[in-house]
Structure 1
Amino acid sequence: MGPMPSAKPPASPFTPLDFQLVLLRRMADHNPGLVEDARHALGASPTDLREANRRWQAMVRSPRSRPAAARYRSVLGTPGAVLPRRVGGLDCEAWQWPLPLWPDLRFEVLVAPDRVVWNAWLVRAPGAPAPALRTLDDLTPWSCTVDEAARAFAPARALEGTAPTRWGLAFTAADGRGVRHEVAAEFTWGLLQRVAAGGRRP
């Protein structure tokens, strides 16, 4: 009798590094140069980025997938902070994790009392200085989060995202000469990606 076939080796754990590559993959459509620099900083190859995204999508879409809150904890570990939050009259928790790629930001997951995830995006870290957002020139890629732009250029109107991890804002902002423009800004995982003047989607 010949040797038994060897068992398929188990897949390597999905790590916080892999998760950062997933975030980058979603941003590559808008800012490939920034993504390329960030990928190099993480010591990852283009293949690593594609494979991390493939594995994440497989986890999310699997019929045996664990609930989203449990999935984030399994990948990122115990949250660095758990903060009480009130959203529309309902109490929830904000789970936050630091990510080496963006030391001034935190990845935040809003979790309802029944452990349903309401939202997941990047926010400014507690105590980190917020960017000065006064004109269109300040709205550079990766410069601010959704909440920061909405506060700086209030009143802002939410736009429907073009993908599950994307958000849009419409607001009025002045350019360097003081001329005011209708602006549409697009965010991926809560981080600004691009801005279009004239109120049209980027």
Structure 2
Amino acid sequence: MTETVTRPFGPLDFQLVLLRRMGDHQPGLVEDARQELGASVADMREANKRWQAMLRSSRSRGALSRYRSVLGAPEAVVPRRIGDLDCEAHLWPVPLWPGLRFEVLAGPGGAVWNEWLVRAPGIPGPELRGEVDLRPWSCTVDEVARAFPPARPMEGSAPTRWQLALTLPGGRECVAEFSWGLLQRLLPGGDRS
């Protein structure tokens, strides 16, 4: 993949950005995925550097415009209602995870409320019955929250991270940590590191 930096930032680069944050907890899975994409460690670093520069640029576009410029037109735009608020879910395919979509929830005027990986419409999620089913990269925040009610949302340990406090069958408390909406690891109930 080693090319000049002047090429446009596109879907491949964006997948490398997703992988970069996930590498903190799942370096083996990230290494396999990076190789599958034909990218080097330097390519991943460069993609992250360029993404961060786009986020911090004084000429930065709005978040929704930025995703459209990087990922192209969404595969679908679905109206959603959250409480009394209307929004739109913009969905893009992510080749590394064909059963998932990158979802950007945008409110009126295009303000982005959330951005993460979700299960693709029409694709069944995994059956989550216990700890053995909670494998890294196997499920999303929403799937875990539905499977283990009442899961309690918690602040993540870094941007693009989410945590859910939950009780597994048998009464064991734990915290599920997600990066970009995809499960990365389970922590004991009292451990938030």
Relative to the length of structure 2, the TM-score reads 0.95
Kept in 2: contact 1:170–1:199 (CA 8 A)? no
CA deviation map 1:82-126 (0-9, x unaligned): 001111211010000001100000000001111100000000001
Q: Which amino acid aligns with 2:191?
A: R
Equivalent of residue 196 in structure 1, options 180, 183, 187: 187
Deviations 1:25-63 (A, max 9, x none): 000000000000000111111111000000000000111
Q: SS of 2:172's equivalent?
A: strand
From 138, 143, 157, the counterpart of 1:143: 138
Corresponding residue pairs, total = 190
Give yes or no for contact 1:76–1:97 (8 Å, CA) kept in 2: yes
Partner of 1:172: 167
Deviation, structure 1 residue 10: 7.8
The equivalent residue for 1:131 is 126
The match for 2:102 is 107
The Cα RMSD (Å) is 1.2
Q: Distance in 1 between matches of 2:179 and 2:28?
A: 15
Deviation at 1:162, TM superposition (A): 1.3
Q: Is 1:155 paired with 2:150?
A: yes
One-letter amino acid of the structure 1 residue matched with residue 176 of structure 2: A
Residue 87 of structure 1: aligned partner: 82
Runs of 4 or more consecutive aligned structure 1 residues displaced over 3 Å after TM superposition: none
Post-superposition offset of 1:180:
2.0
Task: Name the residue aligned to 2:34.
Answer: 39
Distance 2:58 2:146 in 1: 39
SS of the equivalent of 2:33 reads helix
The AA in structure 2 aligned to 1:200 is D
Following the alignment from structure 1 to structure 2, what is the Cα–Cα distance between the partners of residues 167 and 61?
Answer: 22
Identical positions, percent = 68
Structure 1 Cα separation of the partners of residues 83 and 182 of structure 2: 23
Please say if residues 77 and 89 of structure 2, whose CA atoms lie closer than 8 Å, have aligned partners that are also in contact. yes
Change (3 A) 1:191 1:10: closer
The gaps in structure 2 that reach 5 residues or longer are: none
State the distance in 1 between where 2:21 and 2:5 align.
Answer: 27
Match of 1:54 in 2: 49
Residue pair 1:108, 1:122 contacting (<8 A) in 2 also: yes
SS of 2:168 mapped into structure 1: strand
Cα distance in 2 for residues equivalent to 1:136 and 1:52: 34
Matching of residue 183 in structure 1 with residue 178 in structure 2: no
